[in-house]
């Protein structure tokens, strides 16, 4: 039997870290994952997938990520059920995370939070899906194609390729500090 799930997406909220009565850390979060196709309006939609992570991995994940962080998770799909206070049976399907990878640098994450923090709470999962470009003029209600066109125009007007963080405009090598590493 095979039950493996691999997802790449953005956190829709900060990880909710709690501890069991025996002291085991457990983190719960939701991941926004863009669909590969567009709807009838030409907009790309996202699925919001519930995930749970346990023990030291949960503590590390909660410490190094936050709302809007781009992450990859690997785990297994699990379905459980319980009876709520009203006596109804509730079914929950979630990804139990075994491994994760941080897909953006600490400085990029902090810069994105500073840009989006006060304007819309960091939620950039609008109709156009989430955008991983580093442009300040992204309209969250525009289609993905409109946002990409705006980003390309901005990159051309700046005279450099803002979509590729590794492209050096003048042929120099790239200097990466320890603060830019996700570990």
pLDDT of residue 175: 63
Distance of alpha carbon 82 from alpha carbon 87, whole angstroms: 9
**Of 138 and 179, which is predicted with more confidence?**
179
Q: What is the pLDDT of residues 1-15, one digit of tens each?
A: 999 999 999 999 989
Return the residue matching tokens 């994450």.
109
Q: What is the pLDDT of residues 13-62, one digit of tens each?
A: 989 999 989 988 999 999 999 988 888 888 888 899 999 999 999 999 88
Distance of alpha carbon 39 from alpha carbon 175, whole angstroms: 41
Q: Is the pTM of this model over 0.85?
A: no
The correct CATH number of 5-162 out of 1.10.760.10, 3.40.50.2300, 2.40.50.140, 2.40.30.270 is 2.40.50.140
Domain boundaries, the chain: 5-162
């Amino acid at each position: 039997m095979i039950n493996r799930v691999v997802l790449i997406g953005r956190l829709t909220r900060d990880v909710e870290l709690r501890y069991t009565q025996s002291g085991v850390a457990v983190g719960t979060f939701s991941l926004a994952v863009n669909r590969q196709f567009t709807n009838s309006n030409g907009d790309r939609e996202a699925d919001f997938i519930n995930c749970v992570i346990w023990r030291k991995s949960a503590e590390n994940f909660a410490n190094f990520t936050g709302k809007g962080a781009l992450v990859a998770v690997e785990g297994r799909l699990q379905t459980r059920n319980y009876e709520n206070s009203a006596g109804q049976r509730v079914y929950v399907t979630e990804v139990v995370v075994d491994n994760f990878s941080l897909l953006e640098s600490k400085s990029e994450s902090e810069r994105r939070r500073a840009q989006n923090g006060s304007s819309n709470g960091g939620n950039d999962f609008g109709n156009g899906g989430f955008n991983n470009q580093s442009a300040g003029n992204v309209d969250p209600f525009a289609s993905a194609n409109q946002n990409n066109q705006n980003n390309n125009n901005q990159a051309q007007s700046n005279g450099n390729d803002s979509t590729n963080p590794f492209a050096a405009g003048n042929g120099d090598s790239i200097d990466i500090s320890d603060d830019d590493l996700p570990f």
